[in-house]
Amino acid sequence: MSVRPAAVANLFYPGEIRELRTFIADALSLATSRLPVDLPVPKAIIVPHAGYIYSGPTAAFAYAALQTSDINRVVLLGPAHRVAFYGMALSGADAFATPLGDVRLDAAARHLLLDQPEVAVNDAAHAQEHSLEVQLPFLQIVLDDFSLLPICIGSVHPECVSGVLEQLWGDVHTLFVISSDLSHYHRYAEANALDQNSVETVLQMRAPLHHEQACGATGINALLPLARRFGLTPKLLDYRNSGDTAGDRKQVVGYASIAFFEPEQT
């Protein structure tokens, strides 16, 4: 079996199992205490992908909403940071590893998408990519058993990504995870103002975001038209930036957890 090994354990999140479980459990517990008790299970979530000490508390809000779910397939999209390429990159591996174990990949979904001209297997794009990997330990904790389709997004039009998402839309057992941070390296007050505008853009599902507003803008812009078409309702679960968590306030990065709920859930 081909397994993509963990590349950013001990860098973006704890590599020791007990420390990793403790961090996630504490973050989920705090998030759960601040979420509505009757919050339904989302169809899609937007979550940040920085180091856990920076963005983990915000990411936990989206993952806490999944704790009572019966999701068994996760479609995970994140922007490429290490390798430049056109289109969308799939992994040829059978599983992705984290310190918590292996996550099996959805081979059938991968085979389905390879008919798309913008989609190809590109393991180099996945080898060191953190935007996808940092989501996995949270998913492993909150979901009992699931298959994963990780998609690394390069230079590609959001409409192409929307087409891929629509092919995989599935039923209530399929979750879409869009990995994205918000503004980068502004002063604290400026970042808050910029991010408030970006969050409102998402919540109103109106204009597209630019990559200066969100590094995962392509994935977000691909999700929004489908969310409108399928009648999803977005809800901001948490916002903060690195100046609120573990960084200084001179140059901060913004983070938000936003969930999208299907019509019968709201």
User: How many folded domains does the chain comprise?
Assistant: 1
Return the structure tokens found at 121: 């297997």
- What torsion do the CA atoms of 103, 101, 91, 143 make, to the nearest 10 degrees? 30
Whether pLDDT at 238 is above 80 = yes
Instruction: Tell me the C-alpha distance between 78 and 96, whole Å.
Output: 15
Q: What is the pLDDT of residues 141-196, one digit of tens each?
A: 999 899 999 999 999 999 999 999 999 999 999 999 999 999 999 999 999 999 99
Whether pLDDT at 266 is above 60 = no
Residue 191 resides in a domain: no
With tokens 């630019």, the residue in question is 210
**CATH number of 19's domain:** 3.40.830.10
Residue 37 resides in a domain: yes
Residue 65 resides in a domain: yes
DSSP assignments along 131-173, one per residue:
HHHTTHHHHHHH-SS-EEEEEEE-B--HHHHHHHHHHT--STT
Residue 185 resides in a domain: no
**Phi, psi torsion values for 132, nearest 5 degrees:** -90, -45
Residue 68 resides in a domain: yes
Q: What is the pLDDT of residues 85-138, one digit of tens each?
A: 999 999 999 999 999 999 999 999 999 999 999 999 999 999 999 999 999 999
Residue 189 resides in a domain: no
Residue 47, classed as helix, strand or coil, is strand
Residues listed for the chain = 266
Sorted by sequence, the CB contacts under 8 Å of residue 63 that are 6+ apart come out as 28, 31, 45, 47, 138, 139, 141, 142
- In this prediction the pTM is 0.97
Instruction: Provide the pLDDT for residue 265.
Output: 59
Return the structure tokens found at 20: 């990793």
Domain span including residue 176: 3-180+196-265
